[in-house]
Chain A
Amino acid sequence: MTSSDPHRDNRAGVRRTVWRSVAALAGMFAFAFALVPLYDVFCQVTGLNGKVNNSAQAVMHDGVDESRLVTVQFITRSGSGLPWQLEVETRQMRVHPGQPTEVSFTFDNQGDEESWGRAVPSVSPSQASQHLRKISCFCFDEQRLEAGERRDIPLVFQLSRDLPPDVKTVTLVYTLYPVEARNAPQQASAVTLEGEQS
């Protein structure tokens, strides 16, 4: 690596080092962005982040496992500036794996204008997310509600029979998000206008 006069003859070496570094930099920058789809694929395969399939799945007809009962809980959250309420007819139920079950959810627009929203689901514990099959769900689409409108929409789900035996409770969380107002200026930032720099 050291030639007879490393100080002046090594411009080529320096240039080579620089180009390799720049290539590595570009590669790592691209890698950071590649991690986003990789992460999604990884999570979909393993169900790690509790995300569930975003499209309807077929009912599995392989019988009902009468020997075990699993508690399924529903949690609904509104917020993010959407004046909607999401309610579920029953907060908790016990089902047999393999049994298709229907639950009714009520969307309620309490605002005084029509708006678009979407309920984003999340399952915990995450290893259950692949075993919770949704045959029909409002979460596949965006919803539009007139001012003051109330609408009942059913969820049909099924726990697959290969749900790991140590899972006794599955929690399904729906969070309401506005669809168009998502990029409107945030209110949180305006709150700090006073009181800072005290």
Chain B
Amino acid sequence: MAMNPGSKPVLQHSTATAGGMAEAHPAPPSGLLRWLLTTNHKEIGSLYLIFSLVMFFIGGIFAMVVRAELFQPGLQLVQPEFFNQMTTMHGLIMVFAAVMPAFTGLANWMIPLQIGAPDMALPRLNNFSFWLLPVAFTLLLSTLFMPGGGPNFGWTFYAPLSTTYGPPSTTFFILSLHIAGISSILGAINIIATILNMRAPGMRMMDMPLFVWTWLITSFLLIAVMPVLAGVITMMLMDINFGTSFFDAAGGGDPVLFQHLFWFFGHPEVYIMILPAFGIVSAIIPTFARKRLFGYASMVYATAAIAILSFLVWAHHMFVVGLPLVAELFFMYCTMLIAVPTGVKVFNWITTLFRGSISFEPPMLFALAFVVLFTIGGFSGLMLAIAPADFQYHDTYFVVAHFHYVLVPGAVFAIMAGVYYWLPKWTGHYPNERLAQWHFWLSVVGVNLTFFPMHFAGLAGMPRRIPDYALQFADFNLVSSLGAFLFGASQLLFVAVVVLCVRGGRRAPAQAWDYAEDLEWSVPSPAPLHTFDTPPTFERPAH
């Protein structure tokens, strides 16, 4: 979404703070080739963001199909087979093609700027990791048109539903997930290499902005669990095509093993989608509260603690598979323990706000909504962590409500907050205030109308992933569907704001927000194509 500063193809060099003379950069090729071959972190960041926005809409259309079918009881619009493909594809696209690439895009744009590096450590690898994504997801989307249809087994693709009983296109699904996984892994290596080796002279680890810290920890998580995902889908591939029996009880395998392996990846994966959000919110709240962030060090340690604990809780997704009592207790207590570092974070944000001189620009609105609504998602997560209670909640709409609260007003709102916050740096213009306010309020109302009633439907026993439901759930589903249409439509406003902001608008100075103090605000707005050719000298803010 962020248009590259090179739409005015003038070779600028970073000025002022970057200081000094830098060597000239060769002129980029023109037209499409420029985007295909670019190794510039800002252009690749923009590509990631545009890609994820497109995928956000494609995954959103799938969600609209689901909500339209659930608008009233009975089967009206689609067949159950197609409904299953829609829920599955919605989940896969939103997780792997919308949320994850959006955070990677923000990382590409902002991490070099925030640590005073001229680019990512491995620019050509960076180009490769991006271009793997369109390949992966074109392949994934094309399965919808194959005989037998696309994946229809839920985004968690439990075996043997996805192996013995999966559609013939499952092999393509596996291939596309492999490619997307390689892309994330390469992106993670690049980010770690950049952060560890390319910080401005004088910037210690504990001086880094929290967005950089959270992304560093996220990258470690990616390196730890993406290979496990790759392993699981490789085993699936072998079960389907080469006659092995990893997950097939007939040949001595065990379907429950699939769930253990999948959730060993899957739980850290949900933190991969939320830790960078914590970083963004930790940048925005101090800026618009005009106070320093309360408890910087505790934020870093809390993030690390969440990451470590995320490896010890996977079986909370499996309380009903028949775990022994000891295991139920272990995973229940470990899961509840995660509320402690997460609570530290929420406490720090609120304390930062306390007696702050707060103003409500669009980034701040989204960040504040994040804190409130993500916390609701956290609380329902705590409820689900209670093993005996989970026996009732398991596989109901309560779970759907929970993870949508942490992912939509959680991760997605944080991404939008980040986009509104950094748009002035990317484009040199402030986003249109009125439209952005409309976008925010419609989104907040839409999100809560969509997902709050799902708590009640779930507690009353409505199962997830079913195209039809009993009559007593009709009202809840009607409200959810109306909310979803509202939320979906209001995202068009978001596109309008971004496009208008690229085209023009009130001009933004280098320091676009008064109290923003990280390094990115020391380069001009819009940020020139090449910044920090000469490393800046990092000065610790005196407080």
Q: Bits for B51-86, please: 1 = Cβ < 8 Å to A, else 0.
A: 000000000000000000000000000110110010
Q: Which residues of A contact B149 (CB under 8 A)?
A: 192, 196-197
**Closest approach, in angstroms, between the C-beta of B216 and any C-beta of chain A?**
11
Asked if A7 is an interface residue, CB under 8 A from chain B, the answer is yes
Q: Which residues of A contact B260 (CB under 8 A)?
A: 35, 39
Asked if A63 is an interface residue, CB under 8 A from chain B, the answer is no
Question: Among A6, A32, A46, A49, which residue has its beta carbon within 8 angstroms of that of B228?
Answer: A32
Would A1 and B201 count as touching, CB distance under 8 A?
A: no
Would A195 and B224 count as touching, CB distance under 8 A?
A: no
A77–B248 Cα gap in the complex (Å)?
16
Chain A, interface residues (CB within 8 Å), range: 35 or more
Would B231 and A29 count as touching, CB distance under 8 A?
A: yes
**Closest approach, in angstroms, between the C-beta of A76 and any C-beta of chain B?**
15
Would B192 and A189 count as touching, CB distance under 8 A?
A: no
Would B227 and A28 count as touching, CB distance under 8 A?
A: yes
Q: Which residues of B contact A33 (CB under 8 A)?
A: 231, 235
Would A29 and B227 count as touching, CB distance under 8 A?
A: yes
Asked if A71 is an interface residue, CB under 8 A from chain B, the answer is no
Asked if B197 is an interface residue, CB under 8 A from chain A, the answer is yes
Asked if A50 is an interface residue, CB under 8 A from chain B, the answer is yes
Would B257 and A177 count as touching, CB distance under 8 A?
A: no
Would A24 and B535 count as touching, CB distance under 8 A?
A: no
Given A5-B535, A14-B122, A14-B193, A50-B81 contact (CB < 8 Å): no
Residue on A nearest B199 in the bound complex, by CB: A2
Would B197 and A13 count as touching, CB distance under 8 A?
A: yes
Would B228 and A2 count as touching, CB distance under 8 A?
A: no
A48–B330 Cα gap in the complex (Å)?
15
Would B148 and A196 count as touching, CB distance under 8 A?
A: yes
Q: Which residues of A contact B261 (CB under 8 A)?
A: 32, 35
Asked if B496 is an interface residue, CB under 8 A from chain A, the answer is no
A window 25-39: CB within 8 A of B: 25-26, 28-29, 31-33, 35-36, 39
Residue on A nearest B220 in the bound complex, by CB: A24
Q: Bits for A133-166, please: 1 = Cβ < 8 Å to B, else 0.
A: 0000000000000000000000000000000000
Q: Quick check: which of B159-167, B404-412, B441-449 contacts chain A, the rest being far away? A: B159-167
**Closest approach, in angstroms, between the C-beta of B314 and any C-beta of chain A?**
12
Asked if B2 is an interface residue, CB under 8 A from chain A, the answer is no
Would B324 and A127 count as touching, CB distance under 8 A?
A: yes
Question: Among A4, A32, A183, A195, which residue has its beta carbon within 8 angstroms of that of B79?
Answer: A195
Would A188 and B165 count as touching, CB distance under 8 A?
A: yes
Chain B, interface residues (CB within 8 Å), range: 35 or more
A118–B535 Cα gap in the complex (Å)?
69
**Closest approach, in angstroms, between the C-beta of A194 and any C-beta of chain B?**
9
Q: Which residues of B contact A178 (CB under 8 A)?
A: 250
Asked if B482 is an interface residue, CB under 8 A from chain A, the answer is no
**Closest approach, in angstroms, between the C-beta of A144 and any C-beta of chain B?**
16
Q: Which residues of A contact B147 (CB under 8 A)?
A: 193
Asked if A73 is an interface residue, CB under 8 A from chain B, the answer is no
Would B232 and A32 count as touching, CB distance under 8 A?
A: yes
Would B322 and A126 count as touching, CB distance under 8 A?
A: yes
Would B227 and A196 count as touching, CB distance under 8 A?
A: no
Asked if B230 is an interface residue, CB under 8 A from chain A, the answer is yes
**Closest approach, in angstroms, between the C-beta of A149 and any C-beta of chain B?**
21
A17–B224 Cα gap in the complex (Å)?
15
Asked if B504 is an interface residue, CB under 8 A from chain A, the answer is no
Would A6 and B199 count as touching, CB distance under 8 A?
A: yes
User: Interface centre among A1, A48, A125, A197, by most B CB within 10 Å?
Assistant: A197
Asked if B20 is an interface residue, CB under 8 A from chain A, the answer is no
Would B230 and A29 count as touching, CB distance under 8 A?
A: yes
Would B250 and A80 count as touching, CB distance under 8 A?
A: yes
Would A186 and B164 count as touching, CB distance under 8 A?
A: yes
Asked if A10 is an interface residue, CB under 8 A from chain B, the answer is yes
**Closest approach, in angstroms, between the C-beta of B273 and any C-beta of chain A?**
19
**Closest approach, in angstroms, between the C-beta of B354 and any C-beta of chain A?**
35
Would B197 and A17 count as touching, CB distance under 8 A?
A: yes
Question: Among B148, B226, B322, which residue has its beta carbon within 8 angstroms of that of A193?
Answer: B148
Would B152 and A192 count as touching, CB distance under 8 A?
A: yes
Q: Which residues of A contact B252 (CB under 8 A)?
A: 120
Q: Which residues of B contact A175 (CB under 8 A)?
A: 249-250
Asked if B343 is an interface residue, CB under 8 A from chain A, the answer is no
A193–B146 Cα gap in the complex (Å)?
9
Question: Among A36, A126, A189, which residue has its beta carbon within 8 angstroms of that of B257?
Answer: A36
Residue on A nearest B190 in the bound complex, by CB: A18
**Closest approach, in angstroms, between the C-beta of B290 and any C-beta of chain A?**
30
Q: Which residues of B contact A67 (CB under 8 A)?
A: none
Q: Which residues of B contact A118 (CB under 8 A)?
A: 250
A5–B256 Cα gap in the complex (Å)?
52
Would A1 and B254 count as touching, CB distance under 8 A?
A: no
Would A195 and B202 count as touching, CB distance under 8 A?
A: no
Would A28 and B250 count as touching, CB distance under 8 A?
A: no
Q: Which residues of B contact A183 (CB under 8 A)?
A: 243
Q: Bits for B240-253, please: 1 = Cβ < 8 Å to A, else 0.
A: 00010010111110
Known interface pairs A18-B122, A198-B79; 11 further A-B residue pairs with C-beta atoms within 8 A, sorted by A's residue number: A2-B202, A17-B197, A25-B223, A28-B223, A32-B232, A120-B249, A177-B250, A183-B243, A188-B165, A189-B168, A192-B167
A-B contact pairs, 19 of them (CB 8 A): A2-B201, A5-B535, A6-B535, A14-B122, A18-B189, A21-B188, A29-B230, A39-B260, A48-B323, A50-B322, A51-B254, A120-B249, A122-B249, A124-B322, A177-B250, A182-B248, A189-B168, A196-B81, A196-B149
B interface vs A, CB < 8 Å?
78-79, 81-82, 85, 117-118, 121-122, 144-145, 147-149, 152, 164-168, 185, 188-189, 192-193, 196-203, 205, 223-228, 230-232, 235, 243, 246, 248-252, 254, 256-257, 260-261, 264, 322-324, 327, 532, 535
A interface vs B, CB < 8 Å?
1-2, 4-7, 10, 13-14, 17-18, 21-22, 24-26, 28-29, 31-33, 35-36, 39-40, 43, 46, 48-51, 80, 118, 120, 122, 124-127, 175, 177-178, 182-183, 186, 188-190, 192-193, 195-198
